[in-house]
Amino acid sequence: MRNTGLQRNAFSRPALSRAARFFVATGFIIACAVAGNMLAGHAAAAQTLDKVSFATNWVAEAEHGGFYQALADGTYRRYGLDVTIVPGGPQVNNRILLPVGKIDFYLSANTLQSFDAVEQNVPTIVVASMFQKDPQVLIAHPDRGINDLQDLKGLVLYISKEGMASYFQWLKADYGLLDSQVKPYTFNPQPFLADRNSVMQGYVTSEPYAIEKATGVRPKIFLIADYGFSSYSTLIETRRDLVERKPDLVQRFVDASIIGWYNYIYHDNAAANAMIKRENPEMTDELLASSVARMKEYGIVDSGDALELGIGAMTDARMAGFFDKMVRAGVVKANLDYRKSYTLRFVNRKVGIELRR
């Protein structure tokens, strides 16, 4: 799949807030994190911190919460890191900053982007995956007898061009959906809301919330990860040369980010959410709480291999399986050396697993 690395993600929505974009028109962090406790603060002050820049693929939101948590509660500092989070956005292409050395780490949306980097000979590599499940969903009207992806045959499907080039090819191969069913998704829910025989793409953490707020009815949600689309999501990507020259720095950033995600999902995340809201005023307490609840309900962060190996887990078997599915669907070439796209060197160590509630 070409050029997905230059987009917010393969299934993106161009607006400042995933939920608010349906109903309103459409930087750097403006507040520094304080240490989580006085002892940690003194310890961090006494050492020389390694400056690290981490760029996200979208504006601040709950889907980035673990990273903001690690910044807000002092976890990064306790790991000897002075981290700056560089937000993305609809007119921001942070990913191109990684291979040229302008940033140290990047939040990559999905496994397909890492495959694309190999195909394009971009010298980057994935070192951890914060989401075990891709949050991509298909949204249907309730009480229409739609209970499985097989039931989508014959319905109108509002899918973006990015979705058409990626996960929809898998839906065609595995579930028999057709190009003729698709109408362009313009990031406006009104066509879907007006047609009860239609289905719309979205993220489990955002669009369903917005639709329910607008209509008072919870829509039917199909998380495609639960039907076999086994892409990882919210991956930490860095340069190959950084892995070779500074493996200890990479390990510390990965470990601290993992702990940040445990604390964001399971513990007090008020400071992280305050930071997110300052960076992106369209975020609300209700939306942030809803997003975290959906991540827990659907096992987006902590499920599958993460239950045994810890958040951030990846495995060779799952990478191989997803690659085979994408080859079968015609999304990637069979001769692509996908193994170059990732390393397991920094994950599967059960870091922070005791923080799970």
Three-state SS annotation for 206-249: CHHHHHHHHHCCCCEEEEHHHHCCCCCEEEEEEEHHHHHHCHHH
Angle at which helices 247-266 and 285-297 cross, to 10°: 100
The whole-angstrom separation of Cα 165 and Cα 160 is 9
Cα torsion at 62, 68, 73, 77 (round to 10°)?
A: 160
The whole-angstrom separation of Cα 34 and Cα 58 is 24
pLDDT at 17: 47
The percent helix, strand, coil of the chain (3-state, each to 5) is 45, 15, 40
Q: Which tens digit of pLDDT belongs to each residue from 77-88?
A: 999 999 999 999
Q: Which tens digit of pLDDT belongs to each residue from 256-277?
A: 999 999 999 999 999 999 999 9
CA 217 to chain centre: 26
pLDDT at 37: 43
Q: What's the token pair of residue 340?
A: 């170059």
The sign of the CA dihedral 174, 135, 336, 344 is negative
| Contact by Cβ (8 Å): 271, 70 | no
Same CATH fold assignment for domains 4-133+230-355 and 136-227? yes
pLDDT at 35: 39
CA distances from 137 to 5, 15, 168, 171, 348 (A): 20, 18, 11, 12, 27
Q: Closest by alpha carbon to 58, among 99, 104, 102, 21? A: 21
The whole-angstrom separation of Cα 330 and Cα 294 is 31
| Contact by Cβ (8 Å): 78, 44 | yes
Instruction: Look at the pTM and tell me if it is higher than 0.95.
Output: no
Domain 4-133+230-355 has CATH 3.40.50.1240: no
pLDDT at 47: 73
The whole-angstrom separation of Cα 196 and Cα 270 is 38
Q: What's the token pair of residue 167?
A: 């996960």
Residue ranges in the chain whose pLDDT is less than 50: 1-45
The sign of the CA dihedral 145, 149, 155, 161 is positive
The residue ranges of every structural domain in the chain are: 4-133+230-355, 136-227
Report, in angstroms and rounded to the nearest whole number, the Rg of the chain calculated over CA atoms. Answer: 20
Q: What's the token pair of residue 63?
A: 């889907």
| Contact by Cβ (8 Å): 132, 348 | no
The whole-angstrom separation of Cα 166 and Cα 317 is 21
Angle at which helices 285-297 and 65-72 cross, to 10°: 110
Burial letters 82-109, b for 16+ CB under 10 A, else e? bbbbbbbbeebebbebbbeeebbbbbbb
Domain 136-227 CATH class label: alpha beta
Which DSSP helix (H) or strand (E) runs through 52? Answer: strand 50-55
Burial (Cβ within 10 Å: 0-12, 13-18, ≥19) of residue 246? middle
The whole-angstrom separation of Cα 34 and Cα 18 is 28
